């Protein structure tokens, strides 16, 4: 007999509704709440609709499955709603998506699922478990499966296997129906899956290649939630009106040392067709009343000709919408900036990362990522009426304190519309993450892996995490409390909604500074206690 937590046990449900009648039960997809991990800085973090989970839901619906989405929002008590759903109905499985800082919440959700009257198999996915890998399954019996990388097809194949009422005893495959359908692959034949054999051994299957045709994935299932419950973060608003996010592409060809985006999106740049993009924009506008869309593509500007053509199509479509996006500085030339402005782009976020050229050259940003290109990118935004957001990372192991200070000074001197300095955090799956050094002793320690609080590790040889955060906070205060910065931010806002979002962002900054002071005093008391 399989021990609890094995694939056989998970497949059979271990609850009163397990068996053939469970095959058509709905699937519950849950995003682990993450706002609390940001502490006071969470004031600037809105309740955000999760595109990744939305894509999983829509792909399952495309296969004819009934899906429910549960995402933290300001209208509903998340934990009470989860408990009520688990109590009143049976689910085929529960899928949980989690960023690193929310992993403790994901485990809490999994334990609730296993402890409810109708327990179901628990599946975890997302960048964190993809970076950690099989260890996440070995350490936590409340998890039954991990979906690594791009999850749509892997999750569907697992759901299809879980739906089969007839099982082979070894849980390696499921029988076809009486009409002689082909045998459905079991866990051992599903690429991208981590699972347990009947004896309890954790098995990591070969990775699943990233799907080349992203138009095969329907738009995210935003209809499964009240989209009015969600809004954009303070730094991604622009143009006024209700906002939402979407993707026009997946993948990033660069290999930044600190970034984990490639784990779930891949490095090959894969694009949606122009027709698909315009169709989704019209859907957002007509069904949900959206007027501002932030494209969450890692770098939408990397294929210059494609974006120029898209901008021309946006002008011709006369959607009455505004847009924002991410870009690298070297992929934002004069012609492209002019075309984007004409098409309705009002915000560009640049990952500039460092104000020291020697450090910048070691980060994997690609050719053309220079300090001069950064200056030119900000200037172009000003000329063409777009707000600019410059983002930097400080505290690399090979960075001196003087180089950190140069980055802080460079960022302030650029005078972008918005500016942030992020202390380095070694996320799982990035080259800077060392499992022996950076894996917390207790799973609750993952909640400290956020860039708005004092980092959990001293990554820099010259600056402790505390001293690094002090420098970062001082730089933010010097920038945002400068009268010229405050005047320019107010001048560039297009609506009262934007002003409110920026005000909440400012409150978040102040709260972040206050929480840092508390962290610093706590660390000082701990140091004093150790010295005694």
Based on the fold, state whether residues 176 and 236 are members of the same structural domain.
no
Q: Which of 2, 5, 12 has the alpha carbon at shortest distance from 162? A: 12
Based on the fold, state whether residues 149 and 243 are members of the same structural domain.
no
Distance CA 175, CA 192 (A): 22
Phi and psi (nearest 5°) for 229? -75, -10
Tens digits of residue pLDDT in 503-518 = 666 666 666 565 555 4
* 3-state SS, residue 54: helix
Based on the fold, state whether residues 200 and 273 are members of the same structural domain.
no
The pLDDT of residue 169 is above 70: no
CB within 8 A of 347, min separation 6: which ones? 236, 237, 238, 239, 294, 323, 324, 325, 386, 387, 388, 389, 417
Distance CA 389, CA 403 (A): 21
The pLDDT of residue 24 is above 90: no
Tell whether 181 is covered by a domain.
yes
Tokens 């682990």: give the residue.
Answer: 32
Locate all alpha helices (DSSP H) within 39-166, ordered by sequence: 51-62, 78-88, 103-115, 127-132, 135-138, 152-163
The pair of three-digit structure tokens given for residue 363, joined into one six-digit string: 């980060």
* 3-state SS, residue 434: coil
Tens digits of residue pLDDT in 468-503 = 999 999 999 999 888 887 777 777 766 656 666 666
Phi and psi (nearest 5°) for 103? -60, -40
Query: In terms of DSSP bridges, do strands 243-246 and 249-250 run parallel, antiparallel, or are they unpaired?
Result: unpaired
Calculated CA dihedral for residues 370, 374, 377, 379, nearest 10 degrees: -130
Number of domains present in the structure of the chain: 2
Tell whether 350 is covered by a domain.
yes
Rounded mean pLDDT of the chain? 87
Cα four-point dihedral sign 99, 56, 256, 431: positive
pLDDT above 90 coverage of the chain, percent: 72
Which of 99-113, 173-187, 347-361 is predicted least confidently? 173-187
Distance CA 325, CA 232 (A): 13
Tens digits of residue pLDDT in 193-221 = 999 998 999 999 999 999 999 999 999 99
Tens digits of residue pLDDT in 278-322 = 999 999 999 999 999 999 999 999 999 999 999 999 999 999 999
Cα four-point dihedral sign 71, 47, 423, 255: positive
Distance CA 306, CA 426 (A): 33
- Contact at 8 Å (CB) between 95 and 27? yes
Based on the fold, state whether residues 196 and 238 are members of the same structural domain.
no
Distance CA 380, CA 398 (A): 32
User: What local confidence, expressed as pLDDT, does residue 532 receive?
Assistant: 39
User: What local confidence, expressed as pLDDT, does residue 221 receive?
Assistant: 98
The pLDDT of residue 465 is above 50: yes
* Residue 486: domain span: 231-522
More confident call, 527 vs 272: 272
Distance CA 270, CA 153 (A): 16
Based on the fold, state whether residues 240 and 153 are members of the same structural domain.
no
Distance CA 170, CA 182 (A): 18
The pair of three-digit structure tokens given for residue 18, joined into one six-digit string: 């397990």
Mean pLDDT of 135-145: 97
Tell whether 356 is covered by a domain.
yes
Q: What is the pTM of this model?
A: 0.88
Distance CA 358, CA 87 (A): 57
The CA distances from residue 408 to 390, 405, 411, 472, in Å, are 11, 5, 5, 8
The pLDDT of residue 164 is above 90: no
User: What local confidence, expressed as pLDDT, does residue 72 receive?
Assistant: 94
Task: Name the band, by pLDDT with cuts 50, 70 and 90, for residue 527.
Answer: very low
The CA distances from residue 453 to 27, 36, 99, in Å, are 35, 12, 16
* 3-state SS, residue 233: coil
Tell whether 530 is covered by a domain.
no
The pLDDT of residue 18 is above 50: no
Tell whether 531 is covered by a domain.
no
Mean pLDDT of 384-408: 97
Based on the fold, state whether residues 258 and 184 are members of the same structural domain.
no
Based on the fold, state whether residues 153 and 268 are members of the same structural domain.
no
Task: Name the band, by pLDDT with cuts 50, 70 and 90, for residue 463.
Answer: very high
- Contact at 8 Å (CB) between 334 and 380? yes
Based on the fold, state whether residues 109 and 185 are members of the same structural domain.
yes
Containing 348, the helix (H) or strand (E) segment is strand 345-353
Mean pLDDT of 32-61: 82
Domain C-terminal end among 154, 188, 204: 204
* 3-state SS, residue 377: helix
Based on the fold, state whether residues 116 and 75 are members of the same structural domain.
yes
Tell whether 209 is covered by a domain.
no
Q: Which of 239, 241, 244, 240 has the alpha carbon at shortest distance from 227? A: 244
Domain containing residue 178: CATH number: 3.40.50.2300
Tokens 């009648």: give the residue.
Answer: 21
Task: Name the band, by pLDDT with cuts 50, 70 and 90, for residue 46.
Answer: confident
User: What local confidence, expressed as pLDDT, does residue 6 receive?
Assistant: 55
The pLDDT of residue 365 is above 70: yes
The pLDDT of residue 179 is above 90: no
Task: Name the band, by pLDDT with cuts 50, 70 and 90, for residue 409.
Answer: very high
DSSP string, 393-420: EE--TT--HHHHHHHHHHHHHH--SEEE
Domain containing residue 279: CATH number: 3.80.30.20
Based on the fold, state whether residues 179 and 303 are members of the same structural domain.
no
The pLDDT of residue 3 is above 60: no
Distance CA 97, CA 103 (A): 9
Based on the fold, state whether residues 83 and 182 are members of the same structural domain.
yes
The pair of three-digit structure tokens given for residue 141, joined into one six-digit string: 């019996």
Tell whether 100 is covered by a domain.
yes
User: What local confidence, expressed as pLDDT, does residue 9 receive?
Assistant: 59
Mean pLDDT of 260-270: 93
Mean pLDDT of 119-144: 97
Residues comprising the chain, all counted: 532
DSSP string, 66-91: -EEEE--BTTB-HHHHHHHHHHH---
Distance CA 254, CA 297 (A): 13
Q: Which of 447, 442, 446 has the alpha carbon at shortest distance from 139? A: 442
Tell whether 358 is covered by a domain.
yes
Which of 4-18, 135-149, 348-362, 482-496 is predicted least confidently? 4-18
Q: Kindly calculate the radius of gyration of the chain based on its CA atoms and give it in whole angstroms.
A: 24
More confident call, 528 vs 460: 460
Based on the fold, state whether residues 160 and 258 are members of the same structural domain.
no
């Amino acid at each position: 007999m399989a021990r609890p937590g094995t694939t056989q046990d998970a497949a059979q449900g271990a609850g009163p509704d397990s068996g053939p009648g469970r095959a058509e039960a709905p699937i519950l997809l849950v995003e682990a709440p993450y706002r609390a991990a940001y502490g006071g800085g969470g004031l600037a973090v809105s309740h955000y609709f999760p595109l990744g989970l939305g894509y999983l839901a829509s792909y399952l619906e495309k296969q004819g499955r009934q899906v429910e989405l549960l995402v933290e929002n300001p209208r509903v008590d998340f934990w009470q709603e989860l408990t009520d759903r688990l109590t009143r109905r049976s689910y085929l499985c529960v899928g949980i998506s989690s960023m690193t800082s929310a992993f403790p919440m994901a485990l809490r959700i999994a334990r609730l699922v296993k402890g409810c009257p109708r327990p179901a198999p628990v599946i975890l996915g997302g960048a964190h478990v993809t970076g950690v890998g099989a260890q996440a399954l070995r350490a936590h019996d409340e998890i039954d499966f991990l979906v690594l990388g791009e999850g749509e097809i892997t999750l569907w194949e697992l759901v299809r296997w879980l739906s089969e009422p007839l099982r082979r005893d070894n849980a390696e495959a499921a029988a076809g129906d009486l009409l002689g359908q082909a045998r459905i692959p079991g866990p051992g034949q599903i690429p991208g899956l981590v699972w347990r054999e009947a004896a309890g051994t954790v098995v990591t299957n070969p990775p699943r290649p990233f799907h080349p045709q992203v138009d095969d994935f329907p738009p995210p299932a935003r209809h499964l939630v009240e989209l009015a419950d969600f809004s954009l973060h303070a730094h991604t608003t622009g143009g006024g009106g209700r906002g939402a996010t979407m993707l026009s592409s997946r993948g990033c060809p660069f290999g930044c040392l600190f970034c984990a985006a490639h784990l779930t999106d891949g490095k090959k740049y894969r694009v949606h067709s122009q027709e698909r993009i315009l169709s989704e924009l019209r859907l957002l506008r007509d069904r949900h009343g959206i007027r501002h869309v932030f494209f969450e593509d890692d770098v939408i500007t990397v294929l210059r000709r494609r974006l120029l053509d898209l901008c021309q199509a946006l002008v011709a479509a006369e959607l009455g919408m505004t847009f924002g996006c991410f870009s690298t500085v070297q992929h934002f030339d004069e012609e492209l900036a002019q075309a984007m402005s004409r098409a309705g782009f009002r915000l560009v976020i640049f990952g500039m990362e460092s104000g020291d050229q020697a450090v910048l050259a070691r980060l994997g940003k690609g050719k053309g990522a220079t300090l001069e290109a950064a200056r030119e990118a900000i200037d172009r935004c000003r000329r063409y009426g777009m707000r600019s957001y410059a983002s930097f990372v400080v505290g690399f192991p090979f960075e001196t304190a003087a180089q950190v200070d140069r980055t802080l000074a460079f960022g302030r001197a650029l005078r972008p519309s918005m500016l942030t300095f992020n202390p380095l955090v070694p996320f799982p799956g990035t080259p800077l993450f060392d499992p022996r050094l950076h894996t917390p002793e207790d799973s609750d320690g993952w909640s400290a892996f956020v860039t708005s609080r004092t980092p959990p590790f001293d990554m820099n040889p010259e600056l402790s995490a505390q001293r690094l955060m002090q420098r970062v906070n001082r730089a933010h205060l010097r920038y945002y409390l400068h009268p010229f910065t405050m005047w320019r931010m107010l001048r560039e806002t297009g609506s009262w909604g934007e002003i409110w979002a920026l005000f909440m962002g400012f409150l978040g900054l102040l709260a972040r500074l206050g929480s840092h002071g508390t962290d610093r005093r706590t660390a000082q008391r701990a140091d004093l206690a150790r010295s005694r």
